Each structure stands twice: as C-alpha cells, then as structure tokens.
Amino acid sequence: MDKLLEIVNIVLQNRGKRTLKTVSENSSLRDDLGLDSLDLAELTVRIEAEYDVDIFEDGVVTTVGEILAKIQ
C-alpha cells in the first residue's frame, strides 16, 4: 500500500495537485483521490513499470482495492 501511495502522489504532484497522506482500499480513484483521465493514464503506466501489470487489462478499475488485488 505504501508503494502505491507513493506512485499516486507522484502522479498528483506531476499535475500540480495536492498529495495524500493516506489512502484506503475503498478510496475511489476519481472521487476520493481526484484523479482525472490523464492522471489515470499516467498511473497505469507507472504501475505497469513498477509491477509489470496492466491494471486496466480486464476492464475499468475504480478503487485502490481493485488495484491492490491486481498487483499482489
């Protein structure tokens, strides 16, 4: 979870958005984390580079928990 939070914060910081101290498995990528479509594209690339997993390969991912399930 810490590495994922780090990746999310890199994406947020790159787009001039405020970073987060914590996220939960129930956190919505759009509603709670404030990620838009460009942010999600960058997040996907960064997660794939780190974990060698395309989180959107099987469809839409909307929560942190769904990402965690794919990278573990």
Angle at the Cα of 45 from the Cα atoms of 36 and 27, rounded to 5 degrees: 45
Query: In the prediction, which pLDDT does 58 show?
Result: 87
Provide the pLDDT for residue 40: 95
Residue 72 predicted with pLDDT over 90: no
What is the CATH number for 39? 1.10.1200.10
Query: pLDDT, tens digit, for every residue of 19-67?
Result: 999 999 999 999 999 999 999 999 999 999 999 999 988 888 999 999 9
**pLDDT of 22:** 95
Asked if 63 and 28 count as a contact pair (C-beta separation under 8 A), the reply is yes
Q: How many domains does the chain have?
A: 1
Are 71 and 53 a contacting pair, CB within 8 Å?
Answer: yes
Residue 15 has φ and ψ, to the nearest 5°, of -100, 10
Residue 48: give the domain boundaries. 2-71
